[in-house]
Amino acid sequence: MIVNILAVGDVFGENGLNFLERKLRTIKKFKDISFTVVNGENSSVVGITPKQAEAIFNAGADVITLGNHTFNRQNIIPYLDDNRYIIRPANLSPQTPGRGWGVFDSSFGDVCVINLIGRCGMDFGPDNPFYCADRILKNVDTKVVLIDMHAEATSEKAAIAWHLDGRISALWGTHTHVQTSDATVLPKGTGFITDLGMTGPALSILGVKPEMSINRFLGDPRRRAYEQAPGPCKMEGAIFQVDTSNGKCLSVEAIRIEE
C-alpha cells in the first residue's frame, strides 16, 4: 500500500496556529494524506499550552512533536504525561516528563514516530541523538518509522539521516524555520529534508517582528520577549510517499501554502 505522510514545520504563535486551523484539513484532502505530524513547540512563540495542543489536534494532526522550547510553558507538563500523542525529544534526561516516541494507529497500520533534538549550537547538552535513535529502533518492529530531528546544524540533521538510511521511512529537520531545497530519498530508501520550514507569519524573521531581530543583532538592549509578526501567513512542510509493505520512501515533496 502506498500512502502519503505529511510533516508540518514549526507552528509559530497564534497567527500560525490560526492559519494551520484554516488550511491543514484542506491540504490533507487535496493531497490524500493518510497521517500527519505537526511540530508545535512555538505555538506560544516559545512553548506550547494544552489549549494550543488541542487546537493542533482538532486542526487535523495525528501526532505533535516538540523541541527545545518544550517546557517554556509549565502547564504543558501534566499534559505530556496524560496525552501520548504529543511527544518531546527522546534524548532529554530520563526524568523528563512525557514521552520521546510512540507507536500510533493509522488507517494503514502502526506508525512509529520519534522526536529527537540536536546537540550542535543548542543551549543544553542532551544525550547523543544517534545512539538514542539506535536504542529506540531496537524496540520497534513497525515498517513505517518517522523522525523529527529538531536541530540547529544542517550537518547534524543530514548526518543522522544518512546514519539511519534504510532503517527508517523518513527524517525531517525542524527548529530553523527556513525551508530547505534538498528534499530527497536517500540511497537505501529513507526520505529526508534538512528543514521543513515553519507555519506562521510570512513577512517576518523566523516568525518574529523583523525589527526585534534586527535590533538584537545591532546590539541594542533586549527590552522584551520576542513577538510574532503581523500580516499574512504561510504553512510549510513536506509530503513523504511511503510503501507500507517495506517502509521505504518513494518520493518527497516540499510544500508551501500561503495566504
* pLDDT per position as a tens digit, 219-252: 887 766 778 889 999 999 999 999 999 999 999 9
The string of pLDDT tens digits covering residues 18-34 is 999 999 999 999 999 99
For residues 78-95, average pLDDT: 96
CATH of domain 2-258: 3.60.21.10
pLDDT greater than 70 at residue 106? yes
Kindly tell me if the per-residue pLDDT of 86 is higher than 90: yes
Name the residues annotated as catalytic: 69
Percent of the chain with pLDDT over 90: 88
| pLDDT for res 13 | 96
| pLDDT, averaged across the chain | 95
If DSSP states are collapsed to H, E and C, what string results for the chain?
CEEEEEEECEEEHHHHHHHHHHHHHHHHHHCCEEEEEEECCECCCCCCCHHHHHHHHHHCCCEEECCCCCCCCHHHHHHHHHCCCEECCCCCCCCCCCCCEEEECCCCCCEEEEEEECCCCCCCCCCCHHHHHHHHHCCCCCCEEEEEEECCCHHHHHHHHHHCECCECEEEEECCCCCCCCCEECCCCCEEECCCCEEEECCCECCECHHHHHHHHHCCCCCCCCCECCCCEEEEEEEEEEECCCCEEEEEEEEEEEC
Domain residues of the chain, as ranges?
Answer: 2-258
pLDDT given for residue 223 in this prediction: 66
